[in-house]
Structure formats: C-alpha cells, structure tokens
Structure 1
Amino acid sequence: MRRLFLALMLLVSGCTSGEEVMTTFTNPVYPENFPDPGVISDGETWFAYGTNNDTANVPLLTSTDLVTWSPGGDVLPQLGRWAERGRTWAPEVIRTDAGKYVLYYTARKAGADRQCIGAAVADDPRGPFTDAAGAALICQDDEGGAIDASPYRHSDGTLYLYWKNDGNHIHKPTHLYGQRLAPDGLSLVGDRVRLLTNDKPWQAHVIEAPQMVARDGRLYLFYSANAFDRDAYAVGYATCDGPLGPCQDAAENPILTSSPEAAGPGHSYVVTCADGSTWMLYHAWPPDAIGTVAPGRQLWLDRVTWEDGRPVVHGPTAGGQPMPC
C-alpha cells in the first residue's frame, strides 16, 4: 500500500521515476541559429533540417516532442557535383512509396551566380543523403535561379514540388511555382505552374518558402514574404483549388508578424500531431540582434487553430504554453 501511495503521489506531482514531466514550454525551442526549418516525422521522432552553418551543409535536429531538440550532424556531407559549398539553403525531405527519403536542397551552381535546387536520396531520415545527379533538378537561370523547394504528397498519393524563382536576385518579380513529381521524387513531370506573385505591399520584393498543407479537405499554401533580415518579414497563406491551383491569396495576410520578442518570423513549416492539432515551426531573430551571426535565427513553435476555414497562428508567443501533441 505504501508503494502504491508513493506511485500515485509521483503521478499527481507530474513525476515518474524521479524525472519531471514537462507540461509547458517557452520559445525559442532551439535558441541557436537554425534558419529555414523543414520538418518530417518518422515513428516517434521529429526531424528538422536547416540552412547551412559553419560545419554542416544541412544540419539536422531531432526531437520526440517538438520542444527539446538535439543536434544530429550533417545529413548532406557531400553536395552534388553541380553545386558549390557555402550556400546550402532551405532543405526539406519526403518519404517515397519505395521507402526512400528524398532531400530537396538549394545550393550555388558551380561557376554561376545562381542558386539552384537539387535532390539527394537516403535510406534513413538521418542520412547521409547522396545527390548522384550530374545536374540540378531546377535552375531557372532566366528568372534569377530557384530556391526553397518543398515537397507535398496529395491525398491520392501523387507527389508535388513547390519552389520560388530567385527573381529578386536579378531585380525581377518573384513567383511561387508548383509541378508534379515522379513517384521516386527525382524528376519533374508535366508543366510547371505559377501559383502566386509578390504583388501585395506587405510582400515587398520577395515571396518565398512555400509549403502546401491539407486540412479538412482544403489546401493551404503557406509562404513568407519581404526581406528575411528585417522585422517586416512575415508569414501569409493562400487557399488553392487543387495542388496546382489556382490559388487565392488570403485577405487577412500576413498572419504571423514580428513581436517585441521575435523579429522577422518566417520560413515556417506546419506540422500535424497524432491528436490532429497543428503547430507552426519557424525561425525568428532576437529583436536586438537582427541580421547578426549569433544567436542568428532561432527556432520557434506556436499553435495553429482553424477558425471558419482560416489558419490562425497564436504567436509569436514568449510566455509559457502547453506542450504540443
């Protein structure tokens, strides 16, 4: 009876086996530099892939609760033959029906003043990923290059890829594109479709970082806009009639903007927990350190609810909030 009483007391107090159970968390969930997170879940583990740092082309973080993140090394130690080291941006991963994991990454095209998108393959989400192609998957040289690739699996199993032409690099408009992927995720099929353009005042010269999300039978294309190194950077969304549009920009954009604690929140990634709740991971600068190397763009997490078919981001939230999932 005494052992039973002690066990009950541990449960009531939120402890088991002497370990404290976290019931709340505070942002940022990863206080070091980790820009442009792309996230997948595999089993009970979440994997976050980020833009390059001093030691890794594609740094990895892992977590079992979306809050406590541990570094996992470089999942792409060798770039494709077409790419130069130093500007490996915005990686995202998807698992194919064949059980392979495909990593889409942005890198500088060798010998050219352009960023392009490549694809690399691994048997495990931890990598190492290998890009065996002799050329990039997408370049769009005439539109300034291509960056920020994001894969999506539709309800019928078809794979799609979304990205942004790097028009601002050559003083041209920027667009979000979509195109169908082959089942192995390594080639594009059909025609590419232009889905959105930076034609709203708040977007300024850039629209980027697309992610297609399905919710309650509807499709939402999340994106970021404005300058990434300013507090005007923010997140918006559009609703789409199908995976390749047409897409309608939301009137209430932007839906995630700077706060006194987080500047320039953006390059978001929406995840869905097993309980159906949705959360947004994104990067943000400390307001007094915008554009600095350290601490850089930190990883934040906030709840997303859906009100009358519209996503509402409850953030940036600096106070304590309930643990996700």
Structure 2
Amino acid sequence: MNRPLLAAAVVAALSLGGCDGGGPPPAAEGSSMFTNPVHTADTPDPQAILVDGTWHLFHTNASGANVPVLTSPDLVTWTPAGDAFPALPAWAAPGKTWAPEVLALDPGRYVLYPTVADRASGRQCIGRATATAPGGPYVDSAAGPLVCQADLGGSIDASPFRDTDGSLYLLWKNDGNAIGQDTWLWSQRLSPDGLTLLGEPSRLLRQTEPWEGHVVEGPFLWRHDGQLFLFYAANAYDKADYAEGYALCDTPLGPCHKPPGNPILTSGNGASGPGHASMVEHDGRTWLLYHAWPAGAEGSIAPGRQLWLDEVTWEDGRPVVHGPTSTPQRRP
C-alpha cells in the first residue's frame, strides 16, 4: 500500500529522473546464484505473472508512471518496460495509483485491478482495466470504480484469485486507517470475465494481533496441498514494524483464522519493513516477491522500497519464508 509519499507532486518530481534500470544485475549472467534486492529502484507492492516465458511485474506508481511494469526471464534480472496503464479513466485523479495486480484470462485477455483516486468520493477506490497483452496498455472504460467503500475510508489493494475449480474472486482492504476506523480484508466472487462482482462481499479478518498494529492490508490467496492460505501485510507501511503474515481460510469467502507463529517475514539483513508480497511458483519451487526499505531509509522517496525475492517452503502445513536473505542464494 502507498501513502502521501506518492502524491501527484512527488510523482511529478520523480519523473524528472526518468525510469532507471534499478542498478546492476544482482548476479552475473549465467551465474547460478543471486543476491537481494533483485531490483534496487522504487518497486512498491509488487505482483508478477508469467506469460510465454517472460515474467511481467506490476507495482505502485513511481518514476512518473501510473503502473510501472518490469520484465524478467528469471525473476532475478528485471528491466523496466514502460507504463502498463498510461491513461487513467475520467473518474480517476492522477498521482495515487497503488498496488496494481493483473489477472490473466484467455490468451490475449488480461484484467488489471489498480487502486486509484476517485474524483467523486475523494477516496481511493478500485478500478478494472483490460488489455490484449500482459504489459498493456490497459484501458478502463467504465463510468466509475468497481469497488469503492467510501464510508469505510475507501477500498484499496485489490488481488484476484482463481481457485482450483476455475472460480474467480477479488480480495481487497477497506482503507479504514485513513479515517480512524478498522481495516478489514474482504473477498467477493468475480464474473468469468473478471469485470463484475457477484453476490455479496465477505469480511475475512481485521487487525487483532499486537504485531499488526492498526492496519492489515495487501491480501492475496494461495492454495497448497488443499489448504487455502490468506497472506497479508500489517502495521505502518513506512516503519520497520511492517511485516507479512498469514491466515487459514475454509473457502475464498471465509471463514478465516490466524494460526500461531505470525508474522512469517520481518525486518532483518538490510531489509526494513518487508511486506505487501505476492507469490509465484517456478520449476516446483515457491517464491515470495515483496518490497522492503533499506535499513535506515524507511519512508524515503529514494531509493524507496526495493524488490526482494526469497523462497518459501512448506513445513508441517505452514509456509516458511527463507528471508529476508542478503547472502547469495540459488536462482529460481
């Protein structure tokens, strides 16, 4: 999730610097090892999909782009590839386009779920945009947002989920901390084309544990060995206390419960406030993509939140994140 750091004036200032490559590759080409961070430029709230052998990663606005997209052949070496969402819909104001995630449907059909500033309500709300290529350009031709709980502070951090039976769901957070209310994680069925919500939304969980502070956010669902895991970030995004945890859910609409052992990813080894993650599988291994500030630079505009990649293993039915890892590790 993002906050006023990336308001329009800041984005405009960042755009003067152009879109850099995020520093040198983290490992020499052909090497079997890599070292975090895998992208040293500002890469908040990352999510990646694999299309035709290329990873496409989307993240919160930075360097003048609404939805910056990076591409990689291996999850390690990332190259900026422009703005996936260059034109916002008429109902959205520029400068605060956060936490975009993409759902790949049939070949040649992709749906983007960005959080944008809704002009009518003055709150952050969730849109939907479509494209025929994973990197865009995505176009939102709707007259208004898909989800906008203005009375609950707004709606942010959308994440699509396809279950094993093919059914689709959308998760998000109501932005209650913007108005001094609770933050809840929500889920609702999506139509097969990913553009319409079906039925009623379900509340999954809210902040209740000391490590969560006043905020839970950045949800995503993941199935492993029949179990349904709800991953989420919690606490103040610009502090070292920000961390990643998980819950177990009976269905994509809940109920969910928080097991002991949280959080599962916390500050360390040069990564401060790690979280707002997404998960991918590659060659039988599971990986967590997440952002983290350099230690001592929490809340900074530059370098901002860098991109980290660490392996997840499953031990006794529990996800174990092997990170933050700052020493060389085997590539995906």
Fold agreement, TM-score > 0.5: yes
Contact 1:236 1:250 in 2 (8 A): no
Q: Does 1:42 align with 2:51?
A: yes
Q: Does 1:117 align with 2:131?
A: no
Give the aligned partner of residue 152 of structure 2.
Answer: 143
1:85-234 aligned at under 5 Å gives the runs 85-97=94-106, 99-234=108-243
Instruction: Provide the rounded CA distance (Å) in 2 between the counterparts of 1:54 and 1:21.
Output: 30
Q: List gaps (5 residues or longer) in structure 1.
A: 1-18
Give the aligned partner of residue 71 of structure 1.
Answer: 80
Instruction: Provide the rounded CA distance (Å) in 2 between the counterparts of 1:44 and 1:309.
Output: 30
Give the aligned partner of residue 23 of structure 1.
Answer: 32
Instruction: Provide the rounded CA distance (Å) in 1 between the counterparts of 2:238 and 2:29.
Output: 38
Q: CA deviation at 1:95?
A: 1.4
After TM superposition, the structure 1 stretch with the greater mean CA deviation from structure 2, 79-88 or 111-120, is 111-120
Contact 2:269 2:326 in 1 (8 A): no
Give the aligned partner of residue 250 of structure 1.
Answer: 259
Give the aligned partner of residue 298 of structure 1.
Answer: 306
AA partner of residue 305 (structure 2):
R
Instruction: Provide the rounded CA distance (Å) in 1 between the counterparts of 2:249 and 2:108.
Output: 29
Q: Deviations over 1:190-226 (max 9, x none)?
A: 1100001111111111100001001111110100000
Give the aligned partner of residue 276 of structure 1.
Answer: 284
Instruction: Provide the rounded CA distance (Å) in 2 between the counterparts of 1:22 and 1:63.
Output: 15
Q: CA deviation at 1:39?
A: 1.2
Q: Deviations over 1:104-136 (max 9, x none)?
A: 000111154310000000000010000000100
After TM superposition, the structure 1 stretch with the greater mean CA deviation from structure 2, 46-55 or 82-91, is 46-55
AA partner of residue 257 (structure 1):
T
Instruction: Provide the rounded CA distance (Å) in 1 between the counterparts of 2:148 and 2:242.
Output: 25
Contact 1:98 1:184 in 2 (8 A): no
Q: List gaps (5 residues or longer) in structure 2.
A: 1-27
Give the aligned partner of residue 314 of structure 1.
Answer: 322
Instruction: Provide the rounded CA distance (Å) in 2 between the counterparts of 1:254 and 1:219.
Output: 17
Q: CA deviation at 1:97?
A: 3.8
Q: Could you say what secondary structure the match of 2:93 adopts? A: strand
Q: CA deviation at 1:96?
A: 2.0
Q: Could you say what secondary structure the match of 1:168 adopts? A: helix
Q: Could you say what secondary structure the match of 2:177 adopts? A: helix
Q: How many residues align?
A: 305
Provide TM-score, normalisation by structure 2. Answer: 0.90
Instruction: Provide the rounded CA distance (Å) in 2 between the counterparts of 1:301 and 1:99.
Output: 28
Q: CA deviation at 1:99?
A: 4.3
Q: CA deviation at 1:81?
A: 1.5
- Alpha-carbon RMSD across the aligned residues, in angstroms, is 1.1
Q: CA deviation at 1:137?
A: 0.3
Instruction: Provide the rounded CA distance (Å) in 2 between the counterparts of 1:305 and 1:20.
Output: 26
Q: CA deviation at 1:267?
A: 0.4
Q: Could you say what secondary structure the match of 1:289 adopts? A: coil
Instruction: Provide the rounded CA distance (Å) in 1 between the counterparts of 2:67 and 2:292.
Output: 19
